[in-house]
Each structure stands twice: as structure tokens, then as C-alpha cells.
Amino acid sequence: MAKAALRTRSKKKQEELVPAYPIQYWSHSSLMAFLRNPLAWYKRYVAKIYDTPGNPSSIVGRAAHLALQHFYGGIDKEGAINMGLEYLREVPEFEINFGAAKSKKARKARREKMERDYLQAVGFYLEQAPKHNVLGVEVRAMAQVDGIPIPIKAISDLVVISKVDKNCVDVVDHKFVAAFSKDKAEKTLFMMQALFNYYTVKQQYGKEVRRFIVYECKVSKNADGAPQMRRYVIDFGKRSAEFKVFHRLLRDATEELLHKRRYLPNPSDMFEGENSFDIYRLGLLDD
């Protein structure tokens, strides 16, 4: 009995020495939210309150992603398009940020535009859909990164056999946008997302991840007839400097989680500034 009690006290002491982090893992979206708007991050990823409506373009993007998930999963084009359209029509009104469209008529018109945008965007993509030797669709995986106490998590749209090295895999990501990214493959957000996918896919498949490929599909039709799709490639073999920055940022953000702090709003955040300020003003998440 004395030995058992001693073991219990020893185990409890060890547990007390392990830092208590407010989250179980980092994801690309949670890290970016933490850097952009700490109070909105706390609400979603710590308090786990998911009541912020999505803007119409983000919901159209989700529907388009769902269509491509089914298309690359083996469903024909028409069936895949219908799956995304069904999802779009079933999104309840309270989950959509209609902005200035307050009346029932205005909201109906906005939803009709969302459907048109969706059908046009998916149509552009599937007109000349890139071909891949697909290993996984909507791959959810976690990984432990050396030196980081909590794991990371990512969802990869597609994991495919790399066309530049058959012994490696590539990660493919789809984005439906209003305008093409001016920085192309050098965009910091792309690089950060790519590294989350690199570690999680490498651990999940036990293969080296060679590239992160982004397909941007512009929702509105180009008046000059220019292509609606752009392809950006991040070759991990040429990104050693970015790996170092990623490790440092992840380490510093994780250490920051242990500091007792007040989570303040960022009113200038174009997506959640007003919501985070309302939460702060009303003291809804105060301890």
C-alpha cells in the first residue's frame, strides 16, 4: 500500500511538471488566427465557440472543395457538382454573413449569386481538371515536430504520387479566389500552410513530401479570356530557410501560450474585427 501511494504521488508530481497548454494541437488556421486576432482565436480554439457566420465567398469555396473531394474520390463531374450544390443550398441563413443584404429579398438574391458563383468556379476547374495519381482525398493527419511540445494537424485536399519523383508524394491544395495572389508561390500564407501539410503527410504516409502544389481558380470570368486557373509550386527541397523560420515561429507561439495574458481584440481584422470587439466590450470570455 505504501509503495502504491508513493507511485501515485510520484505520478501526480510528474503531471504537475508538464506545462498545461490551452490547445491540444496547432493547425495552420489556428496559428494564423492566434497571430492575427488573439481574442477571436481564444473564442474558437480554446472556448470552442463556433458562432461566427461565414462570408458568402468562403461558403462558396467550401462547396467547391466538397465537389472536388467527390470528383477526385471517383464520382463523375455532374455528380460531384451536384454534391457541392446540395451542400450550398442546405447552409442555414444564420451561418451566412449577408452584410448589407438585410431584407428577405436581398438575402435570396445573394444566395442565388452564391449558386451562380459556385457553378461558374467549379465549371472553370473541371473544364480542364488537373490529372493526378491520387493516394488520398481530404487527408486529415497529425504529426509531432521536433522541439515543439504539442503536435500539429492539417487537412490535405489531395495527396498524390509526385510526377517529379515516383518515390515521393506531393500535396495538392485548391483555392477559389476573387483575384489571383500577386506573390504566387512566395506568398507567406501558402508557405506556412505547406509546411503544416509537409509534416503531417510525411508522418501519415511514411514518404518524403516533395512539393506543395496550389491551384488557384478565379471565380469571376476574365473579360480578356485569360486562363481562370493558376498553378503555384513550392519545392520543399529548396526551402531550408523557410523550415527554420517555421520552427522558430511555432516554438515562439507555443511558448507564448504558457504566459498568462489578457486576450485583446483586433478591430482592424477584416474578417472578425467587429465580432472580437463585441466579445471584449461585453466581457463574454472574461475569466
- CA dist 208 and 274 (Å) reads 42
Taking Cα atoms as reference points, which of 171, 63, 212 lies closest to residue 123? 63
Give pTM, 2 decimals. 0.86
Cα–Cα separations (whole angstroms), residue 86 to 70, 89, 103, 108, 184: 13, 5, 24, 16, 32
What the block records as the C-alpha cell of 176 is 477559389
| % of the chain at pLDDT higher than 70 | 89
Lowest mean pLDDT among 46-50, 64-68, 260-264: 260-264
- CA dist 124 and 117 (Å) reads 11
For the chain, give every domain's residue range: 56-127, 134-255
What pLDDT sits at residue 281? 73
Mean pLDDT of 133-159: 98
Mean pLDDT of 138-158: 97
- CA dist 252 and 256 (Å) reads 6
- CA dist 211 and 226 (Å) reads 26
Q: What is the CATH number of domain 134-255?
A: 3.90.320.10
pLDDT band at 220 (very low <50, low <70, confident <90, very high): very high
Mean pLDDT of 39-51: 91
What pLDDT sits at residue 273? 65
What pLDDT sits at residue 267? 76
- CA dist 48 and 281 (Å) reads 19
Q: How confident is the model over 78-137, as pLDDT tens digits?
A: 999 999 999 999 999 999 999 889 899 999 999 999 999 999 999 999 998 999 999 999
Lowest mean pLDDT among 15-24, 35-44, 47-56, 250-259: 15-24
Query: What average pLDDT does the structure give for the chain?
Result: 90
- CA dist 151 and 134 (Å) reads 26
CB-CB contact of 159 with 132 (8 Å): no
Res 265 pLDDT > 90: no
Res 208 pLDDT > 90: yes
What pLDDT sits at residue 12? 53
Q: What 3 state SS string does the chain have?
A: CHHHHHHHHHHHHHHHHCCCCCCCCEEHHHHHHHHHCHHHHHHHHHCCCCCCCECHHHHHHHHHHHHHHHHHCCCCHHHHHHHHHHHHHHCCHHHECCCCCCCHHHHHHHHHHHHHHHHHHHHHHHHCCCCCCEEEEEEEEEECCCCCCCCEEEEEEEEEECCCCCCCEEEEEEEEECCCCCCHHHCHHHHHHHHHHHHHHHHHHCCCEEEEEEEEEECCCCCCCCCCEEEEEEEHHHCHHHHHHHHHHHHHHHHHHCCCCCCCCCCCCCCCHHHHHHHHHHCCCCC
pLDDT band at 3 (very low <50, low <70, confident <90, very high): low
Q: How confident is the model over 166-185, as pLDDT tens digits?
A: 999 999 999 999 999 998 88
Q: Tell me, what amino acid is at 225?
A: G
- CA dist 62 and 87 (Å) reads 9
What pLDDT sits at residue 276? 73
pLDDT band at 15 (very low <50, low <70, confident <90, very high): very low
Q: How confident is the model over 241-257, as pLDDT tens digits?
A: 999 999 999 999 999 99
Q: Which residue has the higher pLDDT, 212 or 1?
A: 212
What pLDDT sits at residue 52? 85
What pLDDT sits at residue 32? 93
